[in-house]
């Protein structure tokens, strides 16, 4: 389709919930009538979406193959490839402010993301820019670290900034550093973590800064339904409380009104409900276990359960949701669904 269309892909996040995005992109690959380079000239991502964004950008020359690699990542993932647990006292003494060690994720992504291919995609005009949002723990500023064409300028706007850099593994790990659980990363002179801590709306603004004309946004949050009090007197426990904290952070992470044509997809089914069906695959950490009680463990597990069974459930959901909105999706790209489906 070429980069002249300047269609931006904005990927939200939320740890393991980002598998949902792979399913949406699988559907989009089938809905669009042509193969070849990525239909997205700009990719802006945050949190778990940063992993997907980097994988897609590295494969921008061949969108179909890039989606296949993305699906392979989520279809084969197990928790041990992402994080491992230490006892609490070791985490406190380490001073990195995180409950879990993500060294396995770093090794996994180092083998899968070809950062030289991102540079090549930009040089060959398959991609204008890839941007990853990170939150500076010292400055309190959200920084969109982006790699793009040489004539693209950095910016400063309120509590947000755009920094033109050559992206690397450390930027992906910083952007996807799930608050409290995954360790922040040192970038230059400051430690950075999940960009959602800065409000979550920055990827939309970044897409505008980078010259997007239209935007497809794929989020992973799901509204928690209101329910009456049940009189339950038991303590909620750490997994339940931590799940609610993360859910609050990742809910409503949009940037408000957007002046550009914008299509947003989000799960039609609660990811926590899907995670509840796979709790047996969730390892214990720091002395806490998810157990088998969906009421206390499923919400937190929906962010931390990097399991192929749960991942497939999310990709299947993303695929179904996207196919149901096929007319809107193909319309965003200037095609009719009838043409796309032959």
Residues 6+ apart with CB under 8 A from 232: none
Alpha-helical (H) ranges within 5-62 are 19-31, 49-58
- The catalytically annotated residue of 41, 47, 202, 302 is 47
Closest CA to 272 of 321, 309, 305: 305
Q: How far apart are CA 65 and CA 76, in angstroms?
A: 16
User: Taking the CB of residue 25, how many other CB atoms lie within 10 A of it?
Assistant: 26
Q: How far apart are CA 49 and CA 218, in angstroms?
A: 9
For the chain, percent helix, then strand, then coil, each to nearest 5?
45, 15, 40
Closest CA to 105 of 44, 16, 25, 200: 16
176 catalytic per annotation = no
227 catalytic per annotation = no
Q: How far apart are CA 21 and CA 50, in angstroms?
A: 11
> In the Cβ-directed half-sphere of 257, how many Cα atoms lie within 13 Å?
1
- The catalytically annotated residue of 101, 144, 176, 194 is 194
Phi and psi for 218 in degrees, rounded to 5?
-115, 110
Q: Which residues are catalytic, by number?
A: 47, 194
């Amino acid at each position: 389709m070429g980069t002249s269309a300047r269609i931006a892909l904005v990927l939200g996040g939320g740890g393991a919930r980002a598998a949902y995005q792979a399913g949406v992109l699988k559907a989009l690959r089938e809905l669009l009538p042509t193969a070849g380079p990525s239909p997205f000239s700009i990719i802006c991502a945050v949190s778990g979406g940063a992993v997907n964004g980097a994988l897609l950008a590295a494969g921008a020359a061949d969108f179909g193959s890039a989606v296949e690699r993305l699906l392979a990542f989520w279809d084969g993932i197990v928790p041990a490839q992402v994080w491992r647990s230490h006892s609490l006292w070791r985490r406190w003494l380490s001073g990195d402010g995180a409950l879990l060690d993500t060294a396995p994720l770093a090794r996994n992504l180092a083998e899968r993301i070809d950062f030289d291919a991102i540079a090549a995609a930009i040089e060959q005009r398959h991609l204008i820019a890839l941007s990853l949002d990170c939150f500076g723990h010292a400055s309190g500023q959200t920084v969109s670290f982006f790699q793009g064409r040489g004539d693209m300028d950095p910016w400063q706007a309120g509590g947000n900034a755009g920094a033109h850099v050559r992206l690397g593994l450390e930027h992906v790990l910083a952007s996807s550093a799930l608050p409290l659980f995954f360790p922040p990363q040192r970038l230059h002179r400051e430690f950075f973590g999940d960009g959602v801590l800065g409000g979550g709306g920055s990827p939309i603004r970044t897409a505008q800064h980078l010259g997007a004309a239209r935007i497809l946004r794929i989020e992973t949050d799901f509204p928690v339904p209101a329910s009456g009090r049940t009189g339950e007197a038991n303590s909620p426990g750490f997994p339940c409380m931590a799940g609610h904290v993360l859910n609050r952070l990742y809910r409503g992470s949009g940037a408000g009104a957007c002046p550009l044509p914008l299509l947003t997809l989000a799960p039609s089914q609660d990811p926590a409900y899907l995670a509840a069906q796979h709790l047996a695959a969730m390892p214990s950490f720091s002395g806490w276990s998810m157990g088998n009680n969906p009421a206390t463990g499923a919400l937190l597990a929906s962010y931390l359960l990097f399991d192929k069974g749960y991942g497939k459930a999310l990709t299947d959901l993303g695929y179904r949701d996207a196919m149901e909105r096929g007319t809107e999706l193909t319309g965003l790209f200037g095609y009719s669904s009838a043409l796309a489906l032959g």
